[in-house]
Amino acid sequence: MTPPHVRRRTVLGTAAATGLLGVPANPSFAAAGRDRVFQHGVASGDPLSDAVLIWTRVTPTAASTPGSGQGPKVDVSWEVATDGRFQHVVRRGTFATGPSRDHTVKVDVTGLAPATWYFYRFRCAGVTSRTGRTRTAPARDDRPDHLRFGVVSCANWQAGWFSAYRGLAERDDLHAVVHLGDYLYEYAPGEYGYGSSDEDIRTHVPGHDMVSLDDYRQRHGQYKTDPDLQDLHAKYPWIITWDDHEVANDQWADGAENHDDATQGAYPLRRARAHRAYDEWMPVRLDGTARLRDGDRLYRRFRFGRLAEISMLDLRSYRSRQLQTEVPQPLPVPDSGVSDPDRTITGRQQMSWLKESLRRGRAQWKIVGNPVMIAPVDFGAVPHDLLDPVNDVTGLLPRDGSPYNVDQWDGYTDDRREVFEHIRDHQVSDALFLTGDIHSGWAAELPYDASSYPVGDSAGVEFVCSSVTSNNLKDITGTPPRTTSLAVEQAILANNRHIKYLDFDSHGFSVLDVTAERAQMDWYVIGDRADRDTSVQWSVSYRTPTGTARVEQAAEPL
């Protein structure tokens, strides 16, 4: 059941989105102008203790649609205030934009106070945008009582409505939203939709796979017309990384599973286009000065005082090619290639950076924004007739039930070993991996030796959020919830005792709350993705007490 405190937050959230944020009572002429010029909402992201990004896109003429290359250059003014009525403006300026950047606006607002709520808005052609709200991180040496983050991943437009975003936007108790990848999908209409029929609840534009720069711009623009997504962007700053679908399915450093050079051109060019559109449309700092093999660097850290630091990984741009694309199926069991030290999921430079993020003496909680699952998982006992559906959810698996999900860290075990050994050798405590990607909810410990668990210690814990809309196991099998999936879950739990919770059937979001004593993840689930007004309910909660690297169930959400 939905706990009463969520309903109270809904009231608070509704109030904050109207008069308390200083938003006018929507006179029809003002709303019409705003909806015409600021069709894609406002957003903020990458909060530091003294800075935050603010973002919008303007449509100065009817022809200036995303990816069109049409329309004039325009000046967009912006202002940031400590109050929703903008009586105390602390920063303001003007940003010039035009077709060369798809009429997007992204400003890194500096000189702000730590741990402070701010309000921001834009003006163009005499029209004012909606008001957004954002928050800076605590100062480096501060120790906040707690931190609370919304956690989401895998939002496929064609698979349903973004009710999970609505559920988070109705809350008024978060500090930021963490998005772990697959913010949008590259597929053409009819390719990957709602359930086993691939029916499109909403149809992608353009009407083919994203390949060109204009394609990626159009798709980003389409997603940012979703009202629930707009509300959540306007309510909180986001901390985001990408997974594969922001470019193409199961991508690696030099290609992707569904990229064809013969018909779609050179993969590095496609990726560069995708990254450029991502940089234009997303409230993130893409470091264009740190050019590596892929182009721009996305992995980065966010310090929240002495309580927590979030390190967001990029596990696509530097990884070696997945084994299932290199050798005939089925793979032998086990396959030594997954532990080849020359194979990498992070790349050497990012690995060194990650190990530094996990060093003792940094913030208490070392939170890693981890696009794909790091916990070892043995799928060997999964019923044979369910392997294909499990593949569709978790990644490609050999039909013989190999223990390796090679699109995850299970396909790059030497990198995982290096991370875990670094944690053990440096006596790192309170390492928490926060993961998306596999359209299901998990809570797991990260044992140094899974074969002997529970004997021995663990490197940390992992919490995995479910998908916003992307298909899970019940959707692919076309069976009712908590029927077919139960057999798979029971087999995995029985063969992987370090996994404490698994839900293959639900869509929704999670909320992570961190204090000096524990970190707790609450999973919230939605009803039918095809129903725009579907319900949002609390499902389950798990926590890890400080210094234990253990997972235990909590009786109620926070």
Residue range 440-484, pLDDT digits in tens:
999 999 999 998 999 999 999 999 999 999 999 999 989 998 898
Angle, in degrees to the nearest 10, between helices 213-223 and 267-281: 40
Both tokens assigned to 323: 């084994």
Helix (H, G, I), strand (E, B) or coil at 44: strand
Amino acid 236: pLDDT = 98
Each residue's pLDDT tens digit, 353-382: 999 999 878 899 999 999 999 999 987 656
Residue 429 reports pLDDT greater than 60:
yes
Q: What is the mean pLDDT of the chain?
A: 89
Residue 139 CA neighbour count, 13 Å, CB half: 6
Amino acid 451: pLDDT = 87
Helix (H, G, I), strand (E, B) or coil at 319: coil
- Of 526, 395, 502, 493, which Cα lies nearest the Cα of 440? 502
CATH numbers and ranges of domains, the chain:
1-136 (2.60.40.380), 137-554 (3.60.21.70)
Amino acid 378: pLDDT = 83
Both tokens assigned to 468: 């916003």
Contacts of residue 347, defined as CB under 8 A and 6 or more positions apart, other chains included, come to 253, 292, 293, 317, 318, 319
* DSSP string for 227-274: HHHHHHHHHS-EEE---STTTSTT-BTTB-TT--HHHH--HHHHHHHH
Over residues 208-224, mean pLDDT: 98
Residue 295 reports pLDDT greater than 60:
no
Both tokens assigned to 488: 């798979």
Residue 6 reports pLDDT greater than 70:
no
Both tokens assigned to 451: 């074969």
The phi, psi pair for 427, rounded to 5°, reads 50, 45
Over residues 47-54, mean pLDDT: 98
Over residues 13-31, mean pLDDT: 45
The proportion of the chain whose per-residue pLDDT surpasses 70, expressed as a percent, equals 86
Residue 327 reports pLDDT greater than 90:
no
Over residues 222-250, mean pLDDT: 98
For the chain, how are helix, strand and coil distributed in percent, rounded to 5?
A: 25, 25, 50
Amino acid 394: pLDDT = 57
The proportion of the chain whose per-residue pLDDT surpasses 90, expressed as a percent, equals 80
Amino acid 204: pLDDT = 98
Amino acid 336: pLDDT = 61
- Contact assessment for residue 150 and residue 164, using Cβ atoms and an 8 Å cutoff: no
Q: What pLDDT band is residue 261 in, cutting at 50, 70 and 90? A: very high
Sign for the CA dihedral angle at 243, 247, 248, 253 comes to: negative
Residue 9 reports pLDDT greater than 60:
no
391 vs 235 pLDDT, higher one = 235
Over residues 158-186, mean pLDDT: 98
Both tokens assigned to 37: 């010029």
Residue 201 reports pLDDT greater than 80:
yes
Amino acid 398: pLDDT = 35
Amino acid 338: pLDDT = 86
Q: Given its phi and psi angles, is residue 305 left (phi above 0), alpha (psi -120 to 50 degrees) or beta?
A: left
Amino acid 247: pLDDT = 98
Query: What does pTM read for this prediction?
Result: 0.91
Residue 5 reports pLDDT greater than 50:
no
- Contact assessment for residue 464 and residue 441, using Cβ atoms and an 8 Å cutoff: yes
Amino acid 320: pLDDT = 97
Q: What pLDDT band is residue 27 in, cutting at 50, 70 and 90? A: low
Each residue's pLDDT tens digit, 80-91: 999 999 999 999
Residue 273 reports pLDDT greater than 60:
yes
Over residues 405-412, mean pLDDT: 90
Amino acid 332: pLDDT = 39
Give the CA angle between residues 113, 115, 118 to the nearest 5°.
70
Strand order, beta sheet including 308-312: 300-304, 308-312, 365-370, 431-435, 458-464, 441-447, 499-503
- Of 469, 474, 475, 499, which Cα lies nearest the Cα of 487? 474
Q: What pLDDT band is residue 323 in, cutting at 50, 70 and 90? A: confident
Amino acid 507: pLDDT = 98
